[in-house]
Every structure is written in structure tokens, then in C-alpha cells.
Amino acid sequence: MSIWMTTRYYQWANIAQFWLLPPVCVLCRQPGQAGRDLCHGCEDRLPRTEYPCPGCALPLPPGAEALQCGLCQRHRRINTTVAATAYEEPVSALITRFKYHQGLECGRVLTQLLLDCIRQHYRSQPLPTLLLPVPLHATRLRERGYNQSLLMARDLGRALAIPVATHALQRQRITPPQQGLSAPQRRRNLRGAFVLTEPLPQRRIALIDDVVTTMSTVNEIARVLQRGQASPPEIHVWCLARA
């Protein structure tokens, strides 16, 4: 099936789904807006970053949004980061339900918000040509039953007609949870955790993750993707929330 036909099928399947099962807001349980399990009132109250740094999506002061923060000016592995929301309530609760409690409807809603942000961000520049979800270690994948980043990547790939590399990047060792670790500890924790199992000739790659906190995970993956290349690929980051 061609990319065009796949995209059209995805669009019509969504229309049929929400016609048969009307949307219900994942936050207040009131009727959702057309095609989305989120009402307008709850969407308007979601935490957003008004002036994000184009490199890492951290908040900048008004008037500085066209500039990169000092950290991004010193470390240039990541070209741009697009985050749908800030990692605050109620988004943090939705992501917890998505990751740990089979709340796939929460992930779909947040991914739709991310898709809106991506289309706005790339309205005057080319999209990446490959989506690469941040992998889980096999042990964690068995425990959870799914990789939330892969689910996000598949939804985004269908909507934007961009292929998804499902097995090219693997997490070769299990790492302790990142929560509660400082930025240097996170970097040490992830060193050598990822391995590329096949060459990726694409020159613009988007890493897909649920939450970006210190950029340690995506920077380590970018290091693996760019290592030893005379002309390293552009690395973009797309995430549901920026902490």
C-alpha cells in the first residue's frame, strides 16, 4: 500500500472510530471536541511554553524566542526540539496513565496535540525523513507490554507520511530509572546504553519520546547516530512534554 493510501486509510479510520464512539474528554469526562478525546476547556488549560528555545524547548523570556539558550549554543547535537506541553499537571498525570497504566487514550490525545505543534513548527521548513522512537530494554518492554514512544511514532508517521524505524536502535543494557538523578548522573547512567543495529542513510531524523527532562537520553542517542560520520545527520526531537 502506498504512503498516500496509508495516510488516507488512517484518516478515514479515525473518522469512523469517532462516529461510532463519540469522543470523551480524558480529563473531565465531558464530551470531547470533534475527533479528539479532549474538550476545548481542558485543552485551553493545559500547560504550554509560550517562548520555547528552538533547540531544547525550555522557556525563554519574551522577545528571545528566536534565539537559542546558552546550553544549546554550547552543545549542538540536537537541531530542534518540539514539545506539545510543559511537564506539569494535568499532563504529568496523563503521561503516567499512558506509560504505566495502559492509558492508551491519553497517549493518543497528547500525540494529537504534538502533531498540531509539529505542523505549526515545520510550516516553512522540511520535515524529518525518518522517525526513530526511543527504545525500551527488552525486560522493560515485557513488563509494560508496549513502548509508548513507538506508539507515538506510528501515529505521527501515519499522519505525516514519514517512515518509522522500529528496530534500528536498541537499548542494549537496562538502566536504573532516570527519575531523581542529576544531569551528570543521567549522562553516566546512559553511556553505552544504545546501539545502532543498521545504517540510517536519512539526513534528518526525529527522535520520538514522551518526556524530555535534561536532554540526556536524546543527546546520547544523537551521539550514537552521529558518531564517526563526516556529515552527521540533523537530529530533531519530538516529545509530549518538556520538563
Nearest to 32 by CA among 143, 124, 109: 109
**Checking DSSP bridges between strand 204-212 and strand 234-242, what pairing results, if any?**
parallel
Q: What is the pLDDT of residues 37-62, one digit of tens each?
A: 999 999 999 999 999 999 999 999 98
Count other C-beta atoms under 10 Å from residue 124's C-beta. 5
Instruction: Specify burial of residue 44 (Cβ count, 10 A radius: 0-12, 13-18, 19+).
Output: exposed
Q: In one letter, which amino acid is 63?
A: G
pLDDT digits (tens, 9 = 90+) for 168-222: 999 998 776 666 666 676 667 777 889 999 999 999 999 999 999 989 999 999 9
Which tens digits make up the pLDDT trace of 126-166?
999 999 999 999 999 999 999 999 999 999 999 999 999 99
- For residue 116, the tally of other CB atoms under 10 A from its CB is 12
Whole-number percent of the chain with pLDDT over 70: 87
Please give the C-alpha separations between residue 135 and each of 24, 104, 174, 220, in angstroms, as whole numbers: 30, 18, 11, 13
| Contacts with 31 (C-beta within 8 Å, 6 or more apart), sequence order | 22, 23, 24, 25, 39
pLDDT per residue over 4-34, tens digit each? 565 455 555 555 555 557 899 999 999 998 7
pTM of the model: 0.87
